[in-house]
Structure 1
């Protein structure tokens, strides 16, 4: 097949591109390189089955492809809070342009949504029937509401036009190719620990997250694109094993052998207190569950950042 991956030079996008190439597919990577980098593609950029194009999903685009997977959007608070208007535009216009091309070609289109559509949840674990608890005017709303609007568009295109959609709600994911300065908790803690800097925890560290290793997530993406029938999502994708932020910091200090102290700062506005996916639907519909345990995934991620920091110095 010939796939179009928007945001294909990003953290998740590059892993998806790599997996599809390994599976023998042709891939067009469309990216404006705001948060993605060509360095993420360097191991396979010479592959004849890959075409890399600089472009922005907020502008209409057209390619002859068999499937579209829309991953274009800043996903870390540092990036989307710096340019909130552009983030909402990317979510909404990127969804519209992806859907219009999929409708025109009569092909399946995948939307990378997020657990942030649940906001600061009042139930745990979160399943797909939960409507969420989102602040529509807060500092995170550009991302949260942008992704919620994208889901609305996908469902309405499916109902009104019969467009073949797939919606994945992605919970915290980590692994190689995360950016050093993207502000996500795993990369922050690892970079601080490797440099023996204080590890910064916002709040008291009791808030929880569930961490999924990137190859597990990409496997779920591939399985979703093979879905037949009326199931279009949304489907929660993540690791249901729940850890406090303090437990994560202590684990990373242990795995790196760091001398970093832990420092506590004020919790940012609207920061969710809990994240734990109910993956019953993913398990039954996709035959999927994560296989990489946190210690194994963190060890691989730490090795990646060791090399990256070493090269930078």
Structure 2
């Protein structure tokens, strides 16, 4: 059945790929983005699609959101700010909290379902070797601004369930973990692999935060989109929290080595280690993170199809073929600013 799906953050990595998939399935898509983080180039191929309606708006603008949400049957809320490494502490909290409230108010008025994009960062400093959806959410000192993104996402999850209880808004929570894939956004927000690829293709040192031995999961955006579509199509996913990621994980320094090799560089890998103290006072970075995706397999029948080696190979080639276009979409970008 055709639905009218509103996607906030549509010009971001997940949002742009999800919008294409929804259009391919015959749905009507209302995309919302203010291009503060997303890139126009990410959605330029679908802007002329007759079933795609774009609204350039900020998610914390209630009037703009109300207009965009008219007739929506589902709202997928992806728009958010991430970890504030250098600044933006207050802005991260405001945009993520107020934006989620604006989305839920739209859903209440339109009687729409909400799929809320959360993150594996909510597991914070939990010492467990693997995190399931019922694992404890353990955050650090509230004076450390690094946790602002996680705190705002935890608040957003609670707000979703509060609206479900008080206003009967159907909600589902997706905790994305290490999603990467083709995107014209180039910054640490799109993941370390993109920074490394750009560095390797332009023969520059790859900036690595900390000592690089911290491990992270990496899941291709095609798998993230497929899992999200299954959440949309599964009525029993209502009221559930689901981890979406992959079993593949790698240390950051080994990721740098992998990218350097796949890029075909002839010299030895050039690494530039950046101290955490350059980000902010007391910056905390979990040493290891691995999410348990058993629930996605059992509840949704979803297993990631893209292995890490193949996914990174595709990512390197995508960058190589579009390097000039990526530069044009990220005027002023410098690797020096990423460290």
TM-score normalised by the chain length of structure 1: 0.94
Which one of 164, 168, 183 corresponds to residue 158 of structure 1? 164
Give distance in 2, aligned partners of 1:36 and 1:305: 17
Deviation at 1:121, TM superposition (A): 2.6
The aligned counterpart of 1:143 is 149
Per-residue CA deviations over 1:90-149 (Å, capped at 9, x if unaligned) read: 211111111112122222111000011111331121111112221233122221111111
Give distance in 2, aligned partners of 1:286 and 1:229: 9
Deviation at 1:227, TM superposition (A): 2.1
SS in structure 2 at match of 1:235? strand
The aligned counterpart of 1:270 is 284
Give distance in 2, aligned partners of 1:148 and 1:17: 25
The aligned counterpart of 2:186 is 180
Which one of 105, 118, 125 corresponds to residue 123 of structure 2? 118
Which one of 83, 88, 91 corresponds to residue 83 of structure 1? 88
The aligned counterpart of 1:36 is 38
Give distance in 2, aligned partners of 1:24 and 1:44: 13
**Could you list the runs of 5+ residues in structure 1 that have no partner in the other structure?**
none
The aligned counterpart of 2:335 is none
Which one of 84, 98, 102 corresponds to residue 103 of structure 2? 98
SS in structure 2 at match of 1:64? coil
The aligned counterpart of 1:291 is 305
RMSD: 1.7
TM-score normalised by the chain length of structure 2: 0.87
Q: Would the aligned equivalents of 2:39 and 2:184 in 1 still touch at CA under 8 Å?
A: no
Which one of 243, 248, 268 corresponds to residue 241 of structure 1? 248
**Could you list the runs of 5+ residues in structure 2 that have no partner in the other structure?**
329-339
Q: Are 2:262 and 1:255 aligned? A: yes
How many residue pairs get aligned? The number is: 311
Change (3 A) 1:290 1:178: farther
Give distance in 2, aligned partners of 1:53 and 1:35: 15
